């Protein structure tokens, strides 16, 4: 999906040409409804919706934060997609801000260009009702 990231004015930027904010994660993750992801694929952008639109940014989690995010905000939710996003493609619109327990969480202030997406897969529930994650990159 990496075909070139889109900057604030739609210009292409080079991967790795921006800082990583907190400098820890190179990949961040978004859980969203399958229908929202289908709309994003058609538009070429994932725009803030629901709680993201209310808060003014798109919420993401690191690999270490993802299971708790899923349990707190998506417990039992079906028809979800897990989207892996390469931090190097996001530019200054990505901010690392304190949230749960003071941990820094990645927040994207603007739409997500699909060029930054490494992969997207259906997020299934296991027999215990918890989401089952694929192997995640830090």
d(CA 82, CA 97): 21
Summarised one tens digit per residue, pLDDT across range 58-91 is 999 999 999 999 999 999 999 999 999 999 999 9
Q: What predicted TM-score, i.e. pTM, was given to this entire model?
A: 0.83
d(CA 100, CA 102): 5
What per-residue confidence (pLDDT) applies to 4? Answer: 38
- Ranges of residues in the chain with a pLDDT under 70 are 1-23
Strand runs labelled E in the chain: 27-33, 45-46, 58-59, 80-86, 94-98, 104-108, 112-113, 117-125, 131-132
Task: State the fold for domain 27-127.
Answer: ADP-ribosylation fold (3.20.170)
What per-residue confidence (pLDDT) applies to 23? Answer: 53
Write down the domain spans for the chain.
Answer: 27-127
Q: Write out the two tokens for 33.
A: 């409804």
């Amino acid at each position: 999906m990496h075909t070139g990231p889109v900057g604030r004015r739609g210009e292409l930027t080079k991967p790795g040409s921006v800082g990583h904010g907190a400098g820890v994660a190179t990949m961040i993750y978004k859980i969203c409804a399958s229908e929202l992801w289908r709309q994003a694929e058609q538009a070429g952008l994932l725009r803030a919706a629901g709680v993201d639109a209310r808060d003014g940014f798109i919420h993401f989690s690191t690999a270490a934060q993802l299971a708790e995010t899923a349990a707190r905000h998506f417990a039992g939710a079906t028809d979800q997609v897990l989207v892996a996003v390469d931090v190097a493609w996001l530019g200054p619109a990505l901010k690392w801000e304190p949230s749960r327990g003071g941990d820094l969480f990645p927040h994207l202030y603007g739409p997500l260009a699909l060029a930054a997406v490494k992969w997207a897969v259906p997020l299934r529930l296991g027999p215990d009702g918890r989401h089952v994650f694929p192997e995640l990159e830090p």
